[in-house]
Structure 1
Amino acid sequence: MYVSVATEPGGSAPNEDWVAGTPSLALVLDGLSTAGLDTGCRHGVPWYVAQLGGHLTAALAEYERPLTDGLADALERVARLHPECDLKNPGTPSATVAILRERPDFFDHLVLADSPVVLEGAGGITVLTDLRVDEVCQDLRAETEQFQTGTPEHRASVAKLVAAQREIRNTPDGYWVAGAAPEAAFHALTGTVAADDVRAAAVMSDGVSRLVTEYRMATWENVLDRLREGGPTSVIRRVREVEATDPHGRRWPRYKAGDDAAVAFCQRT
């Protein structure tokens, strides 16, 4: 398959998204916000997603290997890179994961948390995502959405929400993301579809998917059409145009005015 990619930070802070494409693999990682809280790690989220992305790409070069096994192996290898850090800290750097892999006659997919894989076929659009994070801390999320983005009250509320999420992250009572423990890989949502059922696909962080899911300023069909016509950068540009009309989060309450964005667009060759 032909894969084109783009990523862009949401503001002045370093980009915590990561994207890669090979002739058989599309991969997006979305580093989780630390909200200024202690992580126990001296390296930071951008370092973490870069290391995980590289190791995961290498681990999945063998196309018969299950995606969950490759992810577990990559998580273990990255943990070994910084044993001096407190990897048991509930805020240890972590990320969502979205993968699409082509192998003879099939496409495999994996999603861990809310970065989706979107498949376009003769029967329409299929969206593969993991929204378990939306089921937790709903009261604190509603509290955060009361405040104007960027205000001291909003920042304090986001920090309170993130702190609560951390306590149930990667536990049976919470939700799962890629962190220090390989076990998280086996809680990902996975599947396989026949290659003939896929004409094109997009793998993205929620900084891109929110154009459809939260802002409702496009349909998935619109997004796929824009990817075909202008490539990944054109979709990210559209997200920024929409966000610029609501810089304080009044119409669309959110954690930050602009989120990091990453997308890989896959076309059959």
Structure 2
Amino acid sequence: MYVSVATEPGGSAPNEDWVAGTPSLAVVLDGLSTAGLDTGCQHGVPWYVAQLGGHLVAALAERDRPLADGLADALDRVARLHPECDLKNPGTPSATVAILRERPGHFDHLVLADSPVILEGDSGVTVLTDLRVDEVCQDLRAETERFQTGTPEHRASVARLVAAQREIRNTEHGYWVAASTPESAFHALTGTAPADDVRSAAVMSDGVSRLVTEYQMATWEAVLDRLRERGPASLIEVVREVEATDPHGQRWPRYKAGDDAAVAYCRPNIPGRGLPD
């Protein structure tokens, strides 16, 4: 398949999103916020997503390997890279994961937390995502929405929310993300679609998907049209333009004025049709 990618930080801090594409694979990782809290790791989230992304692409070079198995292998390999860090710290670097893989006759997907995979077919658009995180700490999430983005009160509220989420992250009573142990890979949501049912697809972090899900300033059909006509970087530009109209999070309450954004746009390589439009 043809894959085009783009990523951009949400502000002056290092980008904690990561995206890659190969002729058969599209991967997006969204590193989770630390809110300034201790992580037990000396490397940081950008290092973690870069290492996990590279090992994940390598682990899935075998196209018939189950996606969850490849993710578990990559998680184990990255953990072995920094044994000097406290990988049992509840704030150890972690990330959401979204994968789309093409293999003969099929498209496989894996989503772990809220970075979605979007499939476009003759019957419409299918959104594949994992929203278990929305079911926890709802009172603290509501509290953060009472304050303007970037204020001391808002930062303190976000820190309380992140601290509470950490205590139930990767537990049966909470939600699952990619972190220091392979177990979380087997709690991802996975599936397969016939290749004939997929005209195009997108894999993205929630820094991009919020244009539809939270801001409600576009439809999925419009997002895919923009990707097809102008590419991933152009879609991120649209997100930034929308966010600039609400810099303090009064219309759309959020954790920060602009989130890191990453997107991969995918088109099947159909023999005889040449390059996609």
Q: TM-score range by the shorter chain?
A: over 0.9
State the 1:261 CA deviation.
0.1
1:161 aligns to what?
A: 161
1:99 aligns to what?
A: 99
2:275 aligns to what?
A: none
Instruction: Measure, in 2, the Cα distance between the counterparts of 1:102 and 1:228.
Output: 18
Query: What do residues 155-187 of structure 1 show as CA deviations (whole Å, max 9, x unaligned)?
Result: 000000000000000000000000001000000
Query: How high is the sequence identity, in percent, across the aligned residues?
Result: 87
- TM-score normalised to structure 2 length: 0.97
1:249 aligns to what?
A: 249
Query: What do residues 64-84 of structure 1 show as CA deviations (whole Å, max 9, x unaligned)?
Result: 100000000000000000000
| Residue 201 of structure 2 is aligned to residue 207 of structure 1 | no
1:29 aligns to what?
A: 29
1:2 aligns to what?
A: 2
Instruction: Measure, in 2, the Cα distance between the counterparts of 1:183 and 1:56.
Output: 15
Q: Where has structure 1 moved over 4 Å in runs of 4 or more?
A: none
State the 1:47 CA deviation.
0.1
Count of residue correspondences = 269
1:173 aligns to what?
A: 173
| Residue 44 of structure 2 is aligned to residue 57 of structure 1 | no
Instruction: Measure, in 2, the Cα distance between the counterparts of 1:129 and 1:164.
Output: 23
Instruction: Return the letter of the residue paired with 1:173.
Output: H
Instruction: Measure, in 1, the Cα distance between the counterparts of 2:132 and 2:241.
Output: 29
| Residue 210 of structure 2 is aligned to residue 234 of structure 1 | no
Instruction: Return the letter of the residue paired with 1:171.
Output: T
| Residue 84 of structure 2 is aligned to residue 108 of structure 1 | no
1:137 aligns to what?
A: 137
1:220 aligns to what?
A: 220
Unaligned runs of 5+ in 2: 270-277
Instruction: Measure, in 1, the Cα distance between the counterparts of 2:55 and 2:23.
Output: 17
State the 1:268 CA deviation.
1.1
2:273 aligns to what?
A: none
Instruction: Return the letter of the residue paired with 1:226.
Output: R
Instruction: Measure, in 2, the Cα distance between the counterparts of 1:194 and 1:246.
Output: 41
Instruction: Return the letter of the residue paired with 1:157.
Output: S
State the 1:137 CA deviation.
0.0
1:258 aligns to what?
A: 258
1:121-132 alignment, distance < 5 Å: 121-132=121-132
Instruction: Return the letter of the residue paired with 1:227.
Output: L
State the 1:191 CA deviation.
0.1
RMSD, aligned CA: 0.2
Instruction: Measure, in 1, the Cα distance between the counterparts of 2:234 and 2:44.
Output: 29
SS of residue paired to 2:84: coil
SS of residue paired to 2:57: helix
Instruction: Return the letter of the residue paired with 2:22.
Output: T
Instruction: Return the letter of the residue paired with 1:214.
Output: E
State the 1:222 CA deviation.
0.3
Instruction: Return the letter of the residue paired with 1:134.
Output: D
1:188 aligns to what?
A: 188
Instruction: Measure, in 1, the Cα distance between the counterparts of 2:64 and 2:129.
Output: 23
Unaligned runs of 5+ in 1: none
Instruction: Measure, in 1, the Cα distance between the counterparts of 2:214 and 2:235.
Output: 15
Instruction: Measure, in 2, the Cα distance between the counterparts of 1:131 and 1:181.
Output: 21
Query: What do residues 84-116 of structure 1 show as CA deviations (whole Å, max 9, x unaligned)?
Result: 000000000000000000000000000000000
SS of residue paired to 2:193: strand
Instruction: Measure, in 1, the Cα distance between the counterparts of 2:198 and 2:229.
Output: 18
SS of residue paired to 1:250: coil
SS of residue paired to 1:175: coil
Instruction: Measure, in 2, the Cα distance between the counterparts of 1:66 and 1:256.
Output: 35
SS of residue paired to 2:76: helix
| Residue 41 of structure 2 is aligned to residue 38 of structure 1 | no
Instruction: Measure, in 2, the Cα distance between the counterparts of 1:252 and 1:192.
Output: 34
1:148 aligns to what?
A: 148
SS of residue paired to 1:141: helix
Instruction: Return the letter of the residue paired with 1:58.
Output: A
